[in-house]
Amino acid sequence: MKRLSILLGSVFISIVLMVFGFRSFGGHKFNGLVLQEPMKIPPIVMRADSGPVQLDDFRGRLVLLYFGYTSCPDVCPTSLANIKMALNGLTPEESAQVQVIFISVDPARDTPEALGKYVRLFQDNFIGATGTREELDLMTSAFGAKYKINQPDAGGNYSVDHTSFTILIDRNGYYILNFPHGTTSTQMSEDLRYLIENEMPISAQILAGPTYTPVVCAVTLIPSHVDGGEWLYQHHCAQCHGADLAGNPQWQTELADGSHLPPPLDKSGSAWQYSEQDLINIIKEGRNLDKPIHMPAFKSALANWEVKFIVTYMKSKWDINQLNYQHGFMTLTPQATPTLSASPTPTPAAPSP
């Protein structure tokens, strides 16, 4: 019994150390609030002084969207000034990849021309737009924003109550997170820079927030399996995929016969988008499914446990979000990462000389 207690204690300590190791190993922790399910932006056309504006027009850039009105005495100008400072915290090249759009929920007073003048007080390339009451109701409802036109006073002046968070839309046209009022410009800059540098795929966005479960991923990566997998990888895969799993720099270029060079297997690649069983099958059976990839089958060269060790070693090079995706801690969303049958990207192993 005493020996069993010691053994269980050792296992517990090992798990604790692994868990804390993966917490420190984890990726960017977002300051904004990440949506549980990224939302496709609505195809609603607004009006600006430069002409029609549709959010889908800005595909390929990040969009910061804010609902307000130009007569707002405090919250709107404070929020726009904060956004301006956040962009100033980026390099000019980074800032050029972000579009700011201010949508007025007070079209009776805020014409497209008035909005253009208002937003350019903050920055020249900010866009101010509005629409009909019906269009605005559809737009605010789609983003979970609210507003209320209050009764005018004796002089005809009125205020508008409205939500005050800033919405972030990614390059693929998905609403992925929002910044609550009070988020500092520095915090906003940090999140923007991360998204600009990493271009987080839509299928992984849910994992960017505090919803991932590092304990499960940490426990599955047994150190001895990682070490064994590294040895096997260096002897069977490194010649083609590189000693550091970085793949061939030209791996995305299609060759004349339709084939591709060996891709990266670390976190910069796409191997983490497949389930563990899919990766094991690819290594065992080879990869010549939809295009000539010229990757042989390893089922006669490697035992099942050796293939699993190689996959475990690959996982050790992924970040916590990718590990959780690979372990199934998320639901795929529209336009998510491709399935095994649809993807031409080769995965894990290559022959030794």
Q: Where do the H-state alpha helices sit in the chain?
A: 2-25, 75-88, 92-95, 112-119, 133-142, 185-198, 214-220, 223-236, 238-241, 276-285, 304-315, 320-326
Q: Is the pLDDT of residue 72 over 90?
A: yes
Q: Is the pLDDT of residue 335 over 90?
A: no
Three-state SS annotation for 174-211: EEEEEECCCCCHHHHHHHHHHHHHHCCCHHHHHHHCCC
DSSP 29: P
**Residues 201, 36: Cα–Cα separation, whole Å:** 15
Residue 168, SS3?
A: strand
Nearest CA to 276 out of 350, 332, 348, 216 is that of 348
Q: What is the pLDDT of residues 45-55, one digit of tens each?
A: 899 999 899 99
3 vs 38, residue with greater confidence:
38
pLDDT confidence bin for 13, thresholds 50/70/90: very low
How distant, in Å, are the alpha carbons of 69, 120, 150, 159 from that of 115? 9, 8, 20, 17
pLDDT in the model for residue 240: 86
Query: Per the structure block, which two tokens stand in for 312?
Result: 């475990």
pLDDT in the model for residue 321: 65
**Residues 11, 95: Cα–Cα separation, whole Å:** 48
Contact in structure between 337 and 203 (CB atoms under 8 Å): yes
DSSP 295: B
Q: What is the pLDDT of residues 217-263, one digit of tens each?
A: 333 577 778 888 899 889 888 888 889 988 888 877 777 777 778 88
- What are the structural domains, with CATH classification, of the chain? 33-200 (3.40.30.10), 210-353 (1.10.760.10)
Strands lying side by side in the sheet with 33-40:
33-40, 174-179, 166-169, 62-68, 98-104, 127-130, 45-48, 51-54
pLDDT in the model for residue 77: 94
What's the mean pLDDT when you consider all of the chain? 77
Query: Per the structure block, which two tokens stand in for 319?
Result: 């970040």
- Amino acid present at 22: F
Q: What is the pLDDT of residues 155-181, one digit of tens each?
A: 889 999 999 999 999 988 889 899 999
pLDDT confidence bin for 287, thresholds 50/70/90: low
Contact in structure between 67 and 103 (CB atoms under 8 Å): yes
DSSP 156: S
83 φψ region: left (φ > 0), alpha (ψ -120 to 50), beta (else)? alpha
Q: What share of the chain is helix, strand, coil (3-state, %, to 5)?
A: 40, 15, 45
Phi, psi (deg, nearest 5) at residue 68: -170, -150
Q: What is the pLDDT of residues 83-111, one digit of tens each?
A: 999 999 999 999 999 999 999 999 999 99
What pTM value is reported for the model? Answer: 0.53
- The proportion of the chain whose per-residue pLDDT surpasses 70, expressed as a percent, equals 75
